[in-house]
């Protein structure tokens, strides 16, 4: 019976007997905040959206995701309930940054070895993490040796049955495939971005899983940032550098483009009025809520996810202006994918440490997750190097 609960993380809340109270939760949040604050160090001036900055953004995202999943596993007690809705916006950060990084990478290096590098970077750590999970739980703990073969097959066929968080693996591979197809068309950047957002719309209105639909526009938004990165980074540097346009230049620009602004404002106002009327109608009894409510839900989730991503991105860029960086967040960001892969499996530690104060349990869990992620990253690197060596020699 104990083993059954151990591997069914969705039901952990039914058996966990940890001393979870608001005091211990506040202690945990306070220690995490102190860890971030004391890790702040002086840094050289970084260009906005540099690797160091994006790593820190990923660090914040994975930290929220880990705490969020701990809260879900424990039934969102006390102040942990505040994190109940922060899961998908944090995943949105990863998708925005993935879209940004992949778009720029293909622009610089082209599509040569795109799939071999990307798939290897995603699938090797994933396969290793899930294989260890299957061998530890199915083979040794549950003694279900006859089902090990099926579980290993599910790594490729149904990864979410092994770990509910593994939906992300299939979703990011989906966007890799879409990216490859769009870049193969050799269109202009504007056309590519249009295709990305068209794909997002199709995902949003499709019967895809909620986890896909709620984050359908995040990856395309990251691609849009990458396609306009020169202009965006230049504007950010001017803003952070304190460069302000002269008022005379602003008034001259407004005068020369007054008709254009009036036309644009009228267009947006008309569109807003139409949307408002549609929203009122969809909320009325005469509208079929079963059809339109999901559409509103999709739009709301995507807006929240992208807005949260912009907030975290802006926060790290602002810290960069003051030449401040966090090695702690950078460490989490560098190992964010491996942390994501292992943290769900190790949630069973909350069962093993039943009755122990939540703050103690959490940090024991967190340290073990960090150590496991480092080990997984080193093992994945070793396996990748061996495969690349064999491929190059053949």
pLDDT tens sequence across 25-66 = 888 889 999 999 999 988 777 788 889 999 999 999 999 999
- Residue 85 has a pLDDT of 77
Taking the C-alpha atoms of residue 352 and residue 348, their distance in angstroms, rounded to an integer, is: 7
Give the alpha-carbon dihedral of 15, 72, 84, 210, to 10 degrees: -130
pLDDT at 377 > cutoff 60? yes
* pLDDT grade for 265, boundaries at 50, 70 and 90: low
- Residue 210 has a pLDDT of 84
The average confidence (pLDDT) of the chain is 79
Give 45's DSSP letter.
P
- Residue 9 has a pLDDT of 41
pLDDT in tens, 92-148: 999 999 999 999 999 888 888 787 778 788 889 999 999 988 887 767 766 766 677
pLDDT in tens, 292-348: 456 677 788 888 888 899 989 988 988 888 888 999 999 999 999 999 999 988 886
10-14, 67-71, 232-236, 320-324: segment of lowest average pLDDT: 10-14
pLDDT at 281 > cutoff 70? no
Looking at per-residue pLDDT, the higher value among 193 and 143 belongs to 193
DSSP string, 63-127: HHHHHHHHHHHTT--GGGGGGTT-HHHHHHHHHHHHHHHHHHHHHHHTTTTHHHHHHHHHHHHHH
Q: Average of pLDDT values for 359-380?
A: 92
* pLDDT grade for 367, boundaries at 50, 70 and 90: very high
- Residue 90 has a pLDDT of 92
- Residue 279 has a pLDDT of 47
Taking the C-alpha atoms of residue 327 and residue 32, their distance in angstroms, rounded to an integer, is: 14
Q: Average of pLDDT values for 159-183?
A: 90
- Residue 3 has a pLDDT of 38
- Residue 262 has a pLDDT of 55
* pLDDT grade for 240, boundaries at 50, 70 and 90: low
3-state secondary structure of 43: coil
CA distances to 66, 162, 164, 344 from 168, rounded to whole Å, are 14, 13, 9, 13
Looking at per-residue pLDDT, the higher value among 116 and 240 belongs to 116
Taking the C-alpha atoms of residue 92 and residue 97, their distance in angstroms, rounded to an integer, is: 9
Q: Average of pLDDT values for 352-367?
A: 81
| Percent with pLDDT over 90 in the chain | 31
Give 146's DSSP letter.
G
Give me the residues paired with residue 42 across strands: 324
DSSP string, 268-280: HHHHHHHHHHHHH
Give 19's DSSP letter.
B
- Residue 127 has a pLDDT of 92
| Percent with pLDDT over 70 in the chain | 76
Query: Could you report how far apart the first and last alpha carbons of the chain are, in Å?
Result: 50
How many residues are listed for the chain in this entry?
Answer: 394
- Asked whether the CA dihedral 182, 186, 187, 193 is positive or negative, the reply is positive
- Asked whether the CA dihedral 119, 125, 130, 135 is positive or negative, the reply is positive
Taking the C-alpha atoms of residue 369 and residue 66, their distance in angstroms, rounded to an integer, is: 10
99-113, 194-208, 243-257: segment of lowest average pLDDT: 243-257
Give the 3-state secondary structure percentages of the chain, helix then strand then coil, rounded to 5.
80, 0, 20
* pLDDT grade for 2, boundaries at 50, 70 and 90: very low
pLDDT at 6 > cutoff 70? no
- Residue 15 has a pLDDT of 35
Q: Which long-range contacts (CB under 8 A, 24 or more apart) does 261-264 make?
A: none
């Amino acid at each position: 019976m104990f083993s059954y609960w151990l591997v069914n993380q969705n039901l952990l809340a039914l058996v966990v007997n940890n001393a979870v109270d608001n005091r211990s939760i506040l202690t945990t949040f306070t220690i995490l905040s102190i860890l971030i604050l004391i890790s702040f160090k002086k840094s050289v001036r970084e260009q906005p959206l540099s690797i160091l900055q994006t790593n820190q953004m990923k660090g914040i995202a994975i930290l929220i995701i880990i705490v969020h999943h701990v809260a879900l596993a424990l039934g969102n007690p006390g102040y942990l309930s505040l994190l109940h809705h922060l899961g998908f916006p944090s995943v949105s950060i990863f998708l925005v940054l993935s879209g940004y990084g992949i778009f720029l990478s293909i622009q610089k290096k082209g599509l040569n070895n795109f799939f071999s590098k990307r798939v290897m970077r995603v699938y090797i750590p994933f396969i290793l993490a899930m294989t260890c999970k299957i061998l530890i739980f199915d083979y040794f703990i549950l003694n279900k040796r006859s089902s090990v073969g099926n579980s290993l097959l599910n790594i490729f066929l149904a990864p979410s049955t092994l770990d509910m968080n593994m939906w992300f693996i299939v979703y990011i591979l989906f966007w890799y495939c879409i990216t490859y197809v769009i870049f193969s068309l050799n269109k202009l950047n504007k056309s590519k971005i249009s295709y990305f957002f068209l794909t997002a719309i199709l995902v949003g209105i499709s019967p895809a899983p909620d986890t896909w639909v709620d984050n359908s526009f995040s990856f395309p938004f990251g691609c849009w940032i990458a396609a306009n990165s020169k202009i965006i980074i230049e504007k950010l540097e001017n803003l952070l550098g304190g460069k302000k346009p002269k008022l005379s230049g602003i008034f001259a620009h407004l005068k020369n483009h007054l008709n254009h602004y009036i036309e644009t404002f009228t267009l947006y106002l008309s569109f807003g009025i139409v949307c408002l009327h549609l929203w009122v109608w969809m909320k009325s009894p005469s509208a079929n809520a079963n059809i339109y409510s999901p559409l509103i839900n999709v739009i709301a989730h995507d807006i929240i996810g992208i807005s949260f991503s912009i907030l975290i991105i802006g926060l790290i860029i602002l810290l960069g202006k003051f030449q401040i960086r966090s090695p702690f967040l950078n460490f989490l960001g560098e190992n964010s994918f491996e942390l994501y892969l292992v943290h769900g499996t190790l949630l069973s530690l909350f069962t093993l440490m039943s009755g122990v104060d939540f703050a103690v349990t959490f940090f024991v869990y967190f340290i073990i997750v960090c150590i496991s992620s480092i080990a997984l990253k080193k093992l994945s690197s070793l396996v990748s190097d061996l495969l690349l060596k064999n491929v190059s020699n053949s």
